[in-house]
Chain A
Amino acid sequence: MNGQVNTVGQTINDQTFERGIALSGPHALGVNPELGLIAMAEGDSQAKDTPAHKAIEVLLDDIQLNLSPDGGRTTIPMADSLTTFCLRESVDNINDYLFSNMDQWQPRESYKGVGLAAMLPHGKRLSYTITGDTGCFLFSDNQLIDLNASADKTTRLGLDSRIKPEVSEVEFHDGDILIMISADALNCTGSDFIRVTLSRFGDNLERVLRQINTRTKRNGLEHRPDLILHCS
């Protein structure tokens, strides 16, 4: 990465990230460059204090609070890594929060829950969770791994207090790239294009962004795609 840019993100309406959050059309995007967290929530809302925005806000706050280096835990590590544990608790927390506030989300009739994707590298591992159909990829050793390939894309947070979204771990190496892209933009690019683009321009994330923009525009997407790229 030439020590240049580690995380780049854009939204369809060119929103800037405020305190790590950018609100897009139906999406809220979240980044914590310090920890390497990238996240995208898809809901029906386009403003603050809406389900998608709240999901990202709670996630960023939870992760910042619980993975900050001054934690004083003394217990033996559990089966999960601390990062996976924290991510799992945060997703459960978000689900409970959205569910228990269901009547608050307006308009109530059109509330259909929130799809949330989050990826968080730690050391040589990557913890991630995906609900919904957001495209999540790991580009490693010239291979593009679709992390959402086997997920149930219909599950959404905030509709059932009993659901326990899966949080998984995979290997993650220096120079690996994470891509999070909205479902509509993914349909306009295709994973093969993303793989080729990353192979050619993987050392310049901004250029990758431009390439994907050009491609989606050519394929009929009227707006710039909601997209986050992160390289370790």
Chain B
Amino acid sequence: MLKTTKHLPSESGAVKSADKHFVEQGLKQLNLQEKGKETQAAKLVADQLLKKLISKADLSSGVLNFLQNIWRPVLCNVYLSKGESSRSWKNIKKVSSVLIWTLSAKSTEKEKRMLLTTLPSLKHALSRGMERIQVDTAQQEAVFQMMEIEHEKIISQSGKDSTVGFDVTTASAEKNTDESQGDINRDDDDLMKLVAQACAVDEESAMAVDHNAKIQNMKIGTRVNFDVSGTIDNIGELYWKSNLTGRTVFVNTQGQNAATMNIRELVSELSAGRAKILES
């Protein structure tokens, strides 16, 4: 008995150690299983959201590719790290909705204005989303170039295609509720701007549409001052343009290339007041 008793502590310790190890392993496995389940759940939720959104618009293969290979992991990341009831998840869903809305056909000038004002904030929100999964700058730039072309197509469309049911009223209401709750983080702030801009047809957006129309009709030889507060050296003459791609080339008074930009970039310069079309 004594012998047995003597050995009990060490045997008991070994057993306890083995038990502890066993329990730890079990817990790890359970954790892994839980994580696996959570990951599966996140993928499922992301897939359901994307499926719903994709069904609302006729999207190009480039956009579908982005949604599947880049945006889906972003959604999963937010769902897993912040949870389904988090504000971040709600925000990322709204950003996704707004993105799809911007890529659907616009039948009215009002919608096109809304689209134009939404784009800068949307780009910022998408960029922050992609940063979550370490999408590098070059890849982000490729995404934005692809989106830019898609948005230009939407803006230049004159058809009466159907639009998606983006509930602007709901978005506004959510905005107000969120604001009343306070503690708005940076993501929320971005989204608030995004939704607010998507909902508002303000003077600025009307100006952007106006600039867009002016540029579309701009004749070769039109002069643009690229630094309104600067000197005459910053005046460029439209020397070359492409109607199909929107690319423009300006030269300076020496005939050297002064600027190569697409119509969206030029609209942005004009809207920001950094450039001005000079009357001939």
Question: A residues touching B (Cβ–Cβ < 8 Å)?
Answer: 57-58, 61-62, 65-66, 70-78, 85-86, 89-90, 93, 96-97, 100-101, 103-104, 106, 108
Contacts and interface: CB of A to CB of B under 8 A. Distances in A.
A103 B145 CA distance: 12
A39 B242 CA distance: 18
20 contacts: A57-B244, A61-B244, A62-B242, A62-B244, A72-B219, A74-B237, A75-B253, A75-B254, A76-B254, A76-B255, A89-B249, A90-B242, A93-B245, A93-B247, A96-B245, A97-B244, A100-B145, A101-B62, A103-B146, A108-B61
A73 B221 contact: yes
A85 B251 CA distance: 12
Contact of B241 (A65, A77, A104): A65
Given A86-B240, A89-B249, A100-B145, A66 B256 contact: no
A66 B220 contact: yes
Contacts of A76: 253-255
Nearest to B253: A75
- Consensus secondary structure, chain A interface: helix
A44 B203 CA distance: 47
Contact of B220 (A61, A71, A93, A108): A71
Nearest to B65: A103
Contacts of A108: 61
Contacts of B255: 75-78
A78 B251 contact: yes
Nearest to B66: A103
Contacts of B249: 89
Contacts of A101: 62, 146, 149
Given A72-B219, A73-B221, A103-B62, A65 B254 contact: no
Given A101-B149, A104-B60, A74 B221 contact: yes
B5 interface: no
Contacts of B280: 72
Nearest to A65: B243
A66 B240 contact: yes
What are the 6 closest A-B residue pairs judged by CB atoms, nearest first?
A: A72-B221, A78-B255, A71-B220, A103-B62, A89-B240, A100-B145
Given A72-B219, A75-B251, A58 B239 contact: no
B135 to A, nearest CB: 15
A100 B220 contact: no
A75 B242 CA distance: 19
Q: Which of B252, B255, B280 has the most CB of A within 10 A?
A: B255
A55 to B, nearest CB: 11
Q: Which of A78, A86, A103 has the most CB of B within 10 A?
A: A103
A197 B62 CA distance: 48
Contacts of A57: 244
Contacts of B247: 89, 93, 96
Given A58-B242, A73-B237, A100 B221 contact: no
Contact of B221 (A71, A86, A103): A71
A85 B240 contact: yes
Contacts of B149: 100-101
Contacts of B62: 101, 103-104
A100 B242 contact: no
Given A72-B221, A73-B220, A75-B253, 7 more contacts: A58-B244, A61-B244, A62-B244, A66-B240, A66-B241, A96-B247, A108-B61
Nearest to B254: A76
B61 A103 contact: yes
Interface in B207-221: 219-221
Contacts of B244: 57-58, 61-62, 97
Contact of B61 (A86, A89, A104): A104
Nearest to A106: B61
A97 B245 contact: yes
Contact of A72 (B145, B220, B254): B220
A73 B242 contact: no
Contacts of A61: 242-244
